Amino acid sequence: MHPSSPHADPPLRLTWRDLTLVVALVIALVCLALYIWPDYRPDLSTISQYAEHAQRMAVGQQPYRDFVFEYPPLAIPLFFLPGLGVSNSDVDRYRLQFALEQTALAVALGWLALALVRRYLHGRGLLGVLVALPLFLLAAGVMATLERYDLAPALVTLAAIYLWPHQQGQLAWPLLAIGTALKVYPALLAPLFALEHLRRGERRTLARNVGLYIVTLLLAFLPFLATGPAVLEVLFAYHGERGLEINSLWATPLLLRYTRGAPLEVVQAHASEEVVAPGADMLAALAVPAIVLLLGLVYWVYWRRLRAVEPATTSDDEDAIPRLLRFSALSILAFVLPNKVFSPQYLVWLIPLLPMLRDRQRWLVWGLFGFILALTQYVYPSHWVELTRFLDPRPIFALAARNILLLPLFVLLFEEDETHP
């Protein structure tokens, strides 16, 4: 039938409300697919450990004081809530309830990304939210998404970015503190926020907002600090004593040397697999200086980009949010890449940020990141036993490829955003 005919079917036009339902449905289906994934490896899951934490808290034991708890304090409710009504031995039910909790967070993440695209990006980035975001979740796999709690700090981080232009950042800074008390890494965005204030000459506003950040962070830690400094001692001592984790970029040359006959051993420590080999301690010692250097580079480039912007307020600068999304991803990568510990779920932190890129290289970035996620899932959990127990060359080469590909991803993210709609 001719399109001009009065009886022709009207064109399909989706409203933003329709898109909200589409995003929720797509992400929920992705989470369902992940939950029933046939290659699920319960022997490698941390769910039983989370269930044990929940049961200990249910009988009145306190994290940090009564049992080892390696996570910041606001992670506690995320472990405790799925354990309500679950018996000590019913790990399967706890797994289901924990997965439902993470699915709700994933749907909220999609909704918030969609709201950000509508409010700040004028609809650009919609394809990334509808397609790239669900595919990234699928490529990350069940072990990194529904069986870890990293979707929670990812959601809080995106919410801080969304609220950054409101009330001179008074809402964004406390959210960053909440994110820090969930997983620490959202603190990497604080210098980006601070540089925005300095660029606009808002020194008093910066001091006030930093105060809000510190007060919010103290409130999160206060219930545990009141009984003694055990929470800080556990967190700092536990993570400070960690060795060179097998997934890290620093371990890659050692693993490749092993395939050529060099000595190497994998030991289990600090709930992870660490590499023991000649040079491992030296490489682990380089991690902190390398993190400082890379983060300094990211913040310096960000400052130069800000100095090139004419408007004096965030509301006048249409590129403020896209630029903040990009450099948030860069600061996370600058922290993860040279770290001596690189757990697979760390890549989840990037999932809500990369789909909304606006530069000409976004398809390359999306494809590269998707492949990196797939390689990560190939190594963990699919071939984790072959890697850590038998040092099979196949997962070694896959892990080396994953780590090497993160370097061009880091470089590509320095691309400038397109400024025209």
Give domain status of residue 1, yes or no: no
CA distance 355 to 133: 6
Task: Determine the angle formed by the axes of helices 151-163 and 91-120, rounding to 10 degrees.
Answer: 20
Give domain status of residue 418, yes or no: no
| pLDDT computed for residue 2 by the predictor | 45
CA distance 319 to 109: 22
Query: Which tens digits make up the pLDDT trace of 179-215?
Result: 999 999 999 999 999 999 999 899 999 999 999 999 9
The sign of the CA dihedral 177, 248, 136, 293 is positive
- Of 170, 35, 161, 157, nearest to 92 by C-alpha is 35
Indicate whether 291 pLDDT > 80: yes
Indicate the burial class of 411 (C-beta count within 10 angstroms; 0-12, 13-18, 19 or more). Answer: exposed
DSSP state of 67: B
| pLDDT computed for residue 34 by the predictor | 93
Average pLDDT of the chain is 90
Give the structural domain span for 209.
Answer: 16-412
Contacts of 161 (CB under 8 A, 6+ apart): 116, 172, 189, 321, 324, 325, 328
Query: Which tens digits make up the pLDDT trace of 103-125?
Result: 999 999 999 999 999 999 988 88
CA distance 342 to 249: 8
| Number of structural domains found in the chain | 1
| pLDDT computed for residue 40 by the predictor | 83
SS3 content of the chain, % helix, strand, coil (to 5): 65, 5, 30
* 0.85 surpassed by pTM: yes
Indicate whether 240 pLDDT > 70: no
Give domain status of residue 5, yes or no: no
Give domain status of residue 420, yes or no: no
| pLDDT computed for residue 419 by the predictor | 52
Query: CA angle, 53 as apex, 47 and 59 as ends, to 5°?
Result: 135
List the alpha helices (DSSP H) in 226-361. Answer: 230-240, 251-258, 280-285, 287-307, 320-336
| pLDDT computed for residue 312 by the predictor | 52
% pLDDT > 90, the chain: 74
* Mean pLDDT of the region 169-177: 95
Indicate whether 10 pLDDT > 60: no
Indicate whether 311 pLDDT > 60: no
| pLDDT computed for residue 233 by the predictor | 66
| pLDDT computed for residue 3 by the predictor | 45
Give domain status of residue 7, yes or no: no
